[in-house]
Amino acid sequence: MPGDADEPIHIQAENAEIDQENQQVTYFGSVQINQGTLQVNAERMIVDYREQKVVRITATGSPARYLQQLEAAEGTVQANASTIIYYTQAERIDLKGNANLTQKGNRITGELIQYDIVAGKVEATAPDKGRVKMVLQPASRDDS
């Protein structure tokens, strides 16, 4: 949802390790991040910060999961992958490894999906002669 990036980031986990020299905090065990309507769940997350501001969050799991409410007419975006990287300043998410992204019944799968939250732009790739797969819902008769 517009404005989520301006909201505080709330993190819950079973354990945390702070590495001030490398400006990282690593969270372990049922980790959950909430920022406005954005939610990421994973087994492990690494939060990178510069000048006391979060710049990147790397979530890993089997799979890691992402959920965000968009504008009312757009519904929600749901995604999962082995690794989810959230670039907080660019408001972009990279989904790596068995990546899936679903919005309004439309589904994209591939090895790498890059999702620009602000622009609503998605780019998917499947290296090594793999295939990107999409399932698109037709417009309903009421939409025309």
pLDDT tens by residue, 102-120: 988 889 999 999 999 888 8
Confidence of residue 99 (pLDDT cuts 50, 70, 90): very high
Q: What is the CATH number of the domain that holds 80?
A: 2.60.450.10
pTM to 2 decimal places: 0.87
pLDDT tens by residue, 1-43: 668 888 999 999 999 999 999 999 999 999 999 999 999 999 9
Based on DSSP, count helices (H) and strands (E) in the chain, helices before strands.
Answer: 0, 10
Paired tokens of 124: 């998917």
SS3 71: coil
Q: Which residue segment(s) compose the domain that 59 sits in? A: 4-143
* DSSP one-letter code for 14: S
